[in-house]
Amino acid sequence: MSTVDNPTIWEISDSDTEIEEDPGDLQLEDRSNTIPAKNALPPPPSYDYELPCPPKKRRSKEEIEADKEKVRLRKEAREKIRAVKEQEKQEKKKETQRRKEAAQHINNLKPENYLKCLTLCIDPALLQQQGSDILLETLSSNELQYSIKKQSFPNSITWTRDLTQLAEDVEATDVEDQLVQVLGPSEFLDMVISVKKVIDNEEEEPVLDYSTVKKVTVLVTESQTNSRKRGHASGDTIQSKYGGKDLDVEEVLVYLQLYKNTSVVFLEGWQDVTDHVCAVTKALSKRPFKLLTEQAELPFCVDGSWASGARVEKDGTGLKQVWTRQIQQLNRVSQVVASCVTAAYPSPQLLLQAYEALSSEEDKKKLLADLMVKGEGKDRRVGPEISTRIYRCLTTHNPELVLD
C-alpha cells in the first residue's frame, strides 16, 4: 500500500466557484495578468529599418537608342495610318462631290431644264415683216427666252446656250449649230439667181454664204399651194425673173442641200414659221440628253439577259465564260457553238497559237469547221462559215472589215 507524503491542500474560495452566466460581459481590468488564448497568434514584430531595394540596372547607350528608335517607328506608323485614313476620307469626299456634280449635270441636261438655258436671237429686220408678232407672242406664252439683236444673216434666228446654268465655274455662252432664215418669194428668187450663177461658173460665191454655219434652214413664206407641194417656187415667177425653168430651182435646191448643208422649206405664213421655230427649239433642248443616253460603255455587246458581262475573280475564275461570250457576240453564233469552241481552245492565246502552227490561209479558216456541236437532237459541225468569221475576228488588223 502506497502512501502520499505531505499532501498539498488546495483551498477554493467562494469567488472562484462563481460562474458567470454571460461570458461576453466579462471585462478584464488587468491585461498584463491575462493569460493568452491557446490558438492566439503573437503580434507581428516591428522593425525600425526599411528593406533595401534591389539596385537599378543602368541601360547602355545602345539600348537607349534602340528604345528611342522603337518609339519613333511606332510614331511614324501611327502617323502613316492617320495619313492613309485622311487620304481615304478626302478621296471619299471627292468621289461624293463628283457623283453629286455628275447627277446635277445630268439633271441640267434634261429637256425641261436645258430649255431654260436656250435663248433665241432674233434679227430686228425679221420683226418688221407683217405677222411676225405671232412669233413673239408664242415664245412668251411658252416661256421661251429670246433677245432681239442684229444677226450675221438678215431675217435670221439663231440659238445660244448659257453655260453658267450648266456649270457653276463657267461663265460663257455658246452658239448652237442651227440657223433659220425667213425669206419672202422675191428674196428667195434672188438667192436662186445667185446660186444658179455659181453653178454655171458665172460667179465665185453667192451673196449669202452659209459656210460658217453647220445647219441652215431657209423658210420661204407666202408661196403658192401647188408650188409648195412640188417643193419650189412658181415657174411663171422664175421665168419672169431670169427666164429659167422649174428644173433650175430643183438644181439650186439640190446644190444647197449637198454643198451648203442648207434645207429649203416652203410655208404659207407666220404661224407655220412660228411652229417650225418652236419645233427646232424643243429639238435642241432634247439633243444633249439624248446623246448622253445613247452613249454605251460596250457598244459591241449584244442584248440579252447576260449583257452586263461575266464576273472574273482574282484567281482567274470566269475568264473562260468571258471567252465564250466574246465568241457568242458574233452574228448567228449560239451559246452551244461558242462553248464548243472554247472547250477545244480554252483561251484566245491557244487558238492563236493553233492558227500560227498552220501554214496555209485556207487551213486556218477551216480549223474550227470540224468541231462537233452536241445539241438536244442530232449532232452537227461548227461549219466553215462560223470558223472563217472567228478566224477573221481574231486575226484581222482592219477595224472596218465586215466579218460576214
* Confidence bin at 47 (pLDDT 50/70/90): low
Q: pTM (2 decimals)?
A: 0.50
Percent of the chain clearing pLDDT 70 (strictly above): 71
The backbone region for 298, taken as left when phi is positive above 0, alpha when psi lies in -120 to 50, beta otherwise, is beta
Query: CA–CA separation, 371 vs 159, rounded Å?
Result: 61
pLDDT of 226 reads 40
Q: Which residue has the higher pLDDT, 111 or 222?
A: 111
pLDDT of 165 reads 61
**Mean pLDDT on 141-147:** 90
**Mean pLDDT on 102-130:** 86
**Mean pLDDT on 36-54:** 62
* CA proximity to 288, closest of 107, 49, 137: 107
Q: Which residue has the higher pLDDT, 309 or 387?
A: 387
pLDDT digits (tens, 9 = 90+) for 355-373: 999 989 999 999 999 898 8
Of 70-79, 236-245, 312-321, the least confident: 236-245
Domains of the chain (ranges, CATH numbers): 112-294 (3.40.50.10130), 319-395 (1.10.150.670)
Radius of gyration of the chain (CA): 51
pLDDT of 19 reads 47
Q: Is 293 helix (H, G, I), strand (E, B) or coil?
A: helix
Q: Is the pLDDT of residue 396 over 60?
A: yes
Q: Is the pLDDT of residue 74 over 70?
A: yes
Q: Is the pLDDT of residue 90 over 50?
A: yes
* CA proximity to 181, closest of 151, 137, 211, 140: 151
Q: Which residue has the higher pLDDT, 45 or 195?
A: 195
pLDDT of 213 reads 72
| Residues forming beta bridges with residue 162, ordered by sequence position | 173
Query: CA–CA separation, 157 vs 124, rounded Å?
Result: 10
Of 148-152, 271-275, 397-401, the least confident: 397-401
**Mean pLDDT on 189-198:** 84
* CA proximity to 220, closest of 246, 195, 186: 186
Q: Which three cell numbers stand for residue 271?
A: 404661224
Are 301 and 329 in contact by the 8 Å Cβ rule? The answer is yes
**Mean pLDDT on 1-12:** 50
Query: CA–CA separation, 385 vs 331, rounded Å?
Result: 11
- Tell me the average pLDDT of the chain: 77
pLDDT digits (tens, 9 = 90+) for 296-316: 554 444 445 445 567 778 787
Q: Is the pLDDT of residue 1 over 70?
A: no
DSSP 243: S
**Mean pLDDT on 376-387:** 84
**Mean pLDDT on 216-223:** 82
